[in-house]
Chain A
Amino acid sequence: MFLIFQRLWQVNWAEQWQYRANLLMYLLYWLVSPIIYLAVWTSIANANGDVKGFTANDFITYYMVLLIVDQATSNIVIHTFGYKIQDGTLSGELIKPIHPMLTNALVNNVAFKALTIMGLIPVWIILFFLFKPDFSGVALSGILIAIPAMILGFLISYLISATITALAFWTTRVYSIHEFYFALILLFSGQFVPLTLMPPIIQNIAQYLPFQLFIYYPIQLILGKLSVDQIIQGYVMAGIWLVVSFLLFTWVWRAGVKRFSAVGA
């Protein structure tokens, strides 16, 4: 099994390098919105002294960390896999003795990430000198405890996106469904604005949804803003959502493959 993943990595890493120009464009496109949020919120905080207790430096550190966390936990499986179901190229992968989405597509996504994070580093350094964030509140222990949370966050986000992608077995409109899902992420993950600044009702809902595990929770772990109870609660939620999203995915996937083989692969 280890060898499979190792070879999958070699192939997908080489493949992603073929598309590095493409990838750079994606990275630039993706960078736009967090940098806008960063700029807007910092200038508001600078003008007012703070926003509900959030200082300009709080916003800068939040969004600087978000750039990394979002890159680590987000996924693009809808774009790399959806079309395979629709045009039937999936056939070739279905008759291989490995799961197409839990092996190849997953590794492909990780390779994609590894490359975009490499591209992100110089941008991040430039932003660092531009905004001069004060990271004195960040401790090594916070970063270490955030790493497994980011891995969990990525796996959950991947499995949910994979479930939505697998809806392509039934409908050609998966891309619009996924767009709607992105809107939910924007609202409940803490991407648009740190969750503590959201109305209490949204904060309450958000803590039971998986989306904050992708962004808000790991960021707060890194910034060292959570109490022990909150850390434990986050990990418990992550564990529950991992199981739920995995079960949901396998169920939808099985039903989808059955349908695929009924209507004509």
Chain B
Amino acid sequence: MSSNSIIVEQLSKTYQVPEREGGFSAAVRGFFKRKYKDVKAVQEVNFTIAQGEIVGFLGPNGAGKTTTLKMLSGLLHPTGGNATVLGYTPWELKPDYLRSMTLVMGQRNRLSWDIPAADSFLLNQAIYRIPDDEYKETYKELDELLELDPLMKKPVRNLSLGERMKCEIAAGLLHRPKVLFLDEPTIGLDITGQVRIREFLREYNKRTGATILLTSHYMADVTALCERIIIIHQGQLKYDGGITDLSHKIAPFKLIGVRLSDADSHDLSGYGTQVQNEEDADKKYIQVKAEDVTRVTSRLLADLPIHDITITDPPIEDVIEQAFNQ
């Protein structure tokens, strides 16, 4: 038992969401009698995570990832089931528990907007009762990995998105938490920023043996960091296992995007499944099996007047949607 950092048993969360139709009469009716709808955000989820593991927590928007992270960090009370993290029941919010875990969520947690990050760091040192020498050592390590020094003296509001994320993550790790819950730690960062955070997390895990549970929209985050993946979809656990087994389960697809000189006159359905992409309407996308990419691409280039061609991984949501939403 002691080697398991996180134990989740039949964990469920149902939100009651007030429901109301538009219009005046509905507003009046709603004033006297509110209707509620039950939204099952998380339904009887089970898993255990051993100490030192890095686990990727995946699922489309609204799958229940953040709700689960909030329950595990103690912010939310479940409506059913149980969870223990490091032997504590998170939602009791025991100070000893709060001192041994961290939740990095968005960019608004630990840093005060108006003052330099250095001051917020010192405050965290006091709040988490970090002895001076340990603080200095941890800061030095974090600075080595994230290059914090040049950012420390500027008011946080003047930092860029990536710089702020680095400071936010560092602030969340000053107390050397044994468990890290990271909700989208690389969101909004450029590729170099993403890579740097990833490398940092891997290194931190290696040095401290901390357990990390992270959600991400970027498949690359997950493939780079996690050997194990948990997928939830519509509140239910759909997959829990190794990342390599997952790729067998999910047929590996690639997206080929082409820009043609006269797009409408060509029918691409013979090359693969056509996919809609609203963001980039003047490009046509087809989805093909990974092993067919080279063959299809060369055919496309030979057959059609192509201006531009891209080959990308499909978004993680789409992959999961396809695999588990039959």
Binding site for B on A (CB under 8 A): 3-4, 6-8, 10-11, 14-15, 18-19, 89, 91-92, 94-98, 257-258, 261-265
Contact = CB atoms under 8 A, between A and B. Distances in A.
A18 B98 contact: no
B127 A4 contact: yes
30 contacts: A4-B123, A4-B126, A4-B127, A7-B122, A7-B123, A7-B125, A8-B126, A10-B119, A10-B123, A11-B112, A11-B123, A14-B114, A15-B112, A15-B114, A91-B70, A91-B105, A92-B108, A92-B109, A92-B110, A94-B74, A94-B93, A95-B98, A95-B103, A97-B98, A97-B128, A262-B76, A262-B77, A264-B15, A264-B76, A265-B76
A264 B115 CA distance: 30
Given A10-B122, A11-B112, A265-B70, 18 more contacts: A4-B123, A7-B125, A7-B127, A8-B123, A11-B119, A14-B115, A15-B114, A89-B108, A92-B110, A95-B74, A95-B98, A96-B98, A96-B127, A97-B95, A97-B98, A97-B127, A262-B77, A265-B76
A98 B127 contact: yes
Interface string B261-303: 0000000000000000000000000000000000000000000
Contacts of A7: 122-123, 125-127
Give the 5 A-B residue pairs with the shortest CB-CB distance, closest first: A97-B95, A92-B109, A97-B98, A7-B126, A265-B75
A89 B75 CA distance: 12
B113 to A, nearest CB: 9
A108 B309 CA distance: 56
Interface residues of B, number: 31
Interface string B67-85: 1001001111100000000
Contacts of A262: 76-77
Q: Which of A3, A14, A91 has the most CB of B within 10 A?
A: A91
Nearest to B96: A97
A95 B127 contact: no
A11 B156 CA distance: 13
A249 to B, nearest CB: 17
Contacts of B115: 11, 14-15, 18
A14 B113 CA distance: 11
B218 interface: no
Interface of B: 15-16, 67, 70, 73-77, 91, 93, 95-96, 98-99, 103, 105, 108-110, 112, 114-115, 119-120, 122-123, 125-128
Nearest to B175: A97
Instruction: Report whether over half of chain B's contact residues are helix, strand or loop; otherwise say mixed.
Output: mixed
A258 B91 CA distance: 9
Contacts of A98: 95, 127
A11 B93 contact: no
Nearest to A2: B126
A262 B105 CA distance: 19
Contacts of A94: 74-75, 93
Nearest to B77: A261
A3 B96 CA distance: 18
Contacts of B125: 7
B199 to A, nearest CB: 26
A11 to B, nearest CB: 5
A62 to B, nearest CB: 38
A168 B114 CA distance: 25
Contacts of B74: 94-95, 261
Nearest to A6: B126
Contacts of B73: 95
Contacts of B109: 92
A91 B75 contact: yes
Q: Which of A19, A97, A257 has the most CB of B within 10 A?
A: A97
A4 B120 CA distance: 12
A93 to B, nearest CB: 9
A106 to B, nearest CB: 14
B193 to A, nearest CB: 22
Contact of B75 (A15, A95, A97): A95
Contacts of A89: 108
Q: Which of A10, A14, A95 has the most CB of B within 10 A?
A: A95
B182 to A, nearest CB: 14
Contacts of B128: 97
Contacts of A261: 74-77, 91
